[in-house]
Amino acid sequence: MLTLFPRLRGGGGDGGATGAESRDCYLNMYAEKKPDKVDPNEQRLSKWLNCALSNEPLAEPCVIDLLGNLFNKEVLVHALLSKRLPKQFSYIKGLKDMVNIKLTPVAGSDGSSQDTTSAQFQCPVSGLEFNGKYKFFALRGCGHVMSAKALKEVKSSSCLVCHADVKDSDKIVINGTEEEVDLLRERMEEEKAKLREKKGVSKKSKNGAAVVADTGAKVAKRQIEDGNVNGNGITVKKFKAADKVPVNATKEVYASLFTSSKKKSDFRETYSCRSLPLGRN
């Protein structure tokens, strides 16, 4: 009689090490989760459609800082008042560091849509969408936002929408590259330095005028106290009568004409006679 002993698969005399390794690899596959990759297109679109501070969709009124970042004005002002502005925006000190901008909604939109997947604004001249694919500028004077293509094709020293005067220094590139932001930062620092210098000169001139006025007031007061200025502001020179003696006259004789220069008599009245002043008895 033949007896067969079938060999069961799955063993191998390794003590289950193969299964343990497989289980460990399985657990590691889920334990080490890789961070989700951010879609660069979504990231780019978010910078052009959302507020840089609250990440909420842009809605009127909107502002831009001197480095080209977009904000909802109400959110930025509230952060300034509550002193909760992030360190990365510490250069924004007040309303003077932001520019009110005028965004043009795309055709068929009022610009208040909450859709964050498509552009809500466009260039009022060329019609290019405000979505980060094209370079846009904000004009500091009037606040209009238009594409670089429109400004290049229609060369003008005034705004293409409202015809306000525009200089190259009035153009702020929106969400620019690192090099463009560095140039904007340098320009911002230069403007602030000039403003500080101007304030210092103005303060010195005011202090100088105050010192001159104060000195003049003190001199005038001293002259009035000394009797050198009359009520009409005319200088009056004081002198003693004895100093203006006529020719062939002595000071004593000339001074005797005035009662203020009389010497007191040494004579005293008694019960039988009167004291008469010298020269009159």
Domain with 54 in it: what CATH number?
3.30.40.10
CA dihedral angle for residue 67, residue 70, residue 73, residue 79, rounded to 10 degrees = -70
Is 200 within the bounds of a domain?
A: no
**Two tokens, residue 72:** 């909802």
Kindly state whether residues 170 and 229 are assigned to the same domain: no
Kindly state whether residues 154 and 93 are assigned to the same domain: yes
Strand order in the sheet with 136-139: 145-147, 136-139, 171-173
Is 178 within the bounds of a domain?
A: yes
User: Domain residues for 45?
Assistant: 40-187
Is 210 within the bounds of a domain?
A: no
CA distance 73 to 58: 9
Kindly state whether residues 170 and 93 are assigned to the same domain: yes
Is 72 within the bounds of a domain?
A: yes
Is 275 within the bounds of a domain?
A: no
Angle at 237 between CA 233 and CA 238, to 5 degrees: 125
Q: What is the pLDDT along the chain (281 residues), one digit of tens a residue?
A: 666 655 555 555 555 555 555 667 667 766 666 666 767 778 888 899 999 999 999 999 999 999 999 999 999 999 999 999 999 999 999 999 999 999 999 987 765 666 666 788 999 999 999 999 999 999 998 999 999 999 999 888 899 999 999 998 899 999 999 999 999 999 999 999 998 888 887 776 666 555 555 655 665 556 555 555 455 555 555 666 666 666 666 777 666 766 555 555 555 666 565 555 544 44
Quick one: which of 101, 162, 183 has its CA closest to 136? 101
Is 26 within the bounds of a domain?
A: no
Kindly state whether residues 179 and 230 are assigned to the same domain: no
Kindly state whether residues 167 and 95 are assigned to the same domain: yes
CA distance 61 to 43: 23
Is 277 within the bounds of a domain?
A: no
- Is the four-CA dihedral 256, 261, 266, 268 of positive or negative sign? positive
